Structures are given as structure tokens and as C-alpha cells.
Amino acid sequence: MMDVNIVGGGVIGLSIAYELANQGLSVAVYDRQQLGLEASWAGAGMLPPADFKSATTPGIQLRAASKPLWPEWSSRLKEESGIDNGFINCGGLQLSLDNDGTGWQDYVSEWRQSGALVEEYERTALQAAAPFLSPQVQAAFYLPEMSQVRNPRHMKALLSACAGKGVQLNPGLPIIGFEKTNSKITGIRTATEIHRAGQTVIAGGAWSPEILHDLGIRCELIPIQGQIVLLSMNQLPFRHVIECGSRYLVPRSDGKILIGATESDVGFNKMNTAEGVGGLIQFAQSIVPCLKAATFERAWAGLRPKSVDSLPYLGRVAGYENLVMAAGHYRDGLQLSPITARLIRQVICHEETELPLAPFSCARGMRV
């Protein structure tokens, strides 16, 4: 019998497994398909800055608590797995394509209020600092503390480190139900057997409602499709992350450039569309015109798990004394994975959590 069963082998589930294994707990991870190949793999790996002392909302507090964990996690994973996850502090440019001065200043103020360092550019200074940008760019500021990590490499490092710590990894093994005794989950059912554990964590991303359905729990969480395009160039025109609203350009050190991302409520559909891919390429070229000469590599889509208020569900699930939830991170699963793992470990080990979990309560979007 294991100490903890984790249902879902994306970045959240594997990070929790890694954190628990570091505390000496026995852990098993189960996933319906290959581990780490859904939204965790599909994202662009941006790690935006925030400062905990200044953070005023639960979402920014969570981000501010996670950001400083990344250097240590990346270093430790590299030492244990031999895999460099590509974590770097690359800085980030925030851009505006319109002349709404009031709205733009409100946006700048939001970043300042989050505790992020913000360096505003005058128009002439921007042209000198970033000559690759289109004249369509009306305003910009720089976030020197913006970082990034390469999702696929991070997932490989996590998988290797978890295996090295004795985590039982079970890809391609869907859960078809639970074994219950009164208010306790005593095991999870697969097609061939029951796997028992003292506690169970649901970290199934967009598939979490389907997993919880067998317990008579309705979870308000929907998949939001996000399409991404990958280009490449022999020489990168920029080294910073570039964001404009919800869309972005993320340069990699090997000449790759990620363009993202669309947002579509189309169910569990991961097919790319001409409109989505074409729109992203057009956006990228409108920001950085020289990308017209870039080579198209490929496109893909992932399904982001969106909760009722875009904040994750974290903590114990009412009605079951040993059932824990960690899902619904929407666009922020990767960046919030270290702090999520720490908070869930504190819940499972009956420790005081370093952040109050009331804003992330499972009761917000779950009904029996």
C-alpha cells in the first residue's frame, strides 16, 4: 500500500509526486496516456514576475510564492536527472498596438502593484532598444525579472527525478473508479486491479471532472484549447519574451520561436485550424516584421483546465477525509507547479500551509 496515489501525470501531478518523495513518502502516479504530454508539454514556459510583499490578489500571491522556487527546483532537477530544463531569466517586453493611453497606464499600474520591476520606454527609446519591432507598436515596458523554462525538457527532468526517488510511474493506465469505505478513499480502480493508498490526489487537469464523476462529484472545470505555432530562424532578432495582451512570442536559445496562443472553448478538441495558425503567424509578423523570413516548423494545441474563476482548486475535497484536489490552473500550470506541490505536500502531511487555501477552496466549483 502506498502513502499517496496521484491521478494525473502532468506537471502538477509529477511536481507533487516529486515533492512528496523528497519527504520520504511512497507515491504512485497514474495517467490515462503518456506522462506529461498534455497541457504541460504544450505550453510556452513563461514565468512572469511578482513580489509577495506587494501581491494583493490570491492569484498574484500564488505566482509570487512560486517564482522564487524555480531556480532551486531547476538546479536540483538538473543535478538529479542530468537534464537541463532551460530555465533562464530572459526579461520580457509588454507591448500595446493601440493608442488607449488610459488603459495602458492602468495595465502598467497593475504590474507595478504586483511588485514586478517595470521599466517604461519612451517611443524613441523603444525604437533604439528594440529596432526589430514594428512601427505599429504604440507603447512598451520591460520586465527584467521575466523568466522562461522549456516545458518538454522540464517534464523529462521531472520524470527522471521522480523515477530516481522511487515514484511508481504508471502511464497508459486510466482510472475507472474508486474503492471507498465510508468517507475514505481506500484505493483507485484500474481495469485489472485496485491500487490502495492512504491518500489520493486528483491532478488530472481538464480530465479531472471525468475522474471525480465516479464519486458523485460535479466539478466545474472546462478545457480551453490553446493553439501554438513554432518557427525557427538562423539568428534570433530578439532574446526577450514578448507579450501583447494574451498573445506572446517566446524565443529559445536554439533559434526556435514559439507563438501563442489562441483561446477556444471547443471541448476536448486539439486539432489545429487554419484560422488559429494563420492568425498567430499574422500576429507575430505584425509585431516583428522580419519573422516573415522565418521557417515554419510545426503547430500544436493543448487543453488548459479552466475553473469557475480561473484560479486552481487546491486542498481537500468535502465529503472525503483523504481526497485532495490540485487542478484548474488554466494558463498557469507550469509556473505555479512548484508552489502547488509544496502546498499540497503541506496539506497531505497535515502541516500549516504557507498560503491560505480559502481562495482556492474546492467548494467553489464542486457539488455532490
- One digit per residue, pLDDT tens: the chain, 368 residues? 999 999 999 999 999 999 999 999 999 999 999 998 888 888 999 999 999 999 989 999 999 999 999 999 999 999 999 999 999 999 999 999 887 777 899 999 999 999 999 999 988 888 888 999 999 899 999 999 999 999 999 999 999 999 999 999 999 999 999 999 999 999 999 999 999 999 999 999 999 999 999 899 999 999 999 999 999 999 999 999 999 999 999 999 999 999 999 999 999 999 999 999 999 999 999 999 999 999 999 999 999 999 999 999 999 999 999 999 999 999 999 999 999 999 999 999 999 999 999 999 999 988 76
The pLDDT of residue 116 is 95
CA–CA gap between residue 319 and residue 342 (Å, rounded): 23
Say whether domain 2-83+151-221+308-367 belongs to CATH 3.50.50.60: yes
Task: Work out the angle at residue 217's Cα, subtended by the Cα atoms of residues 32 and 17, and round it to the nearest 5 degrees.
Answer: 45
Give me the half-sphere count of Cα atoms (radius 13 Å) on the Cβ side of residue 264: 20
Q: Among 3.30.9.10, 3.40.630.40, 3.40.50.720, 3.30.390.30, what is the CATH number of 88-147+222-306?
A: 3.30.9.10
For the chain, the structural domain boundaries read 2-83+151-221+308-367, 88-147+222-306
The pLDDT of residue 41 is 87
CA–CA gap between residue 46 and residue 148 (Å, rounded): 4
pTM for the model stands at 0.96
- Kind plus residue range of the DSSP H or E element containing 317: none
C-alpha dist (Å) from residue 55 to 9, 50, 250, 364: 30, 7, 25, 22
The pLDDT of residue 37 is 85
**Cβ atoms < 10 Å from Cβ of 303:** 21
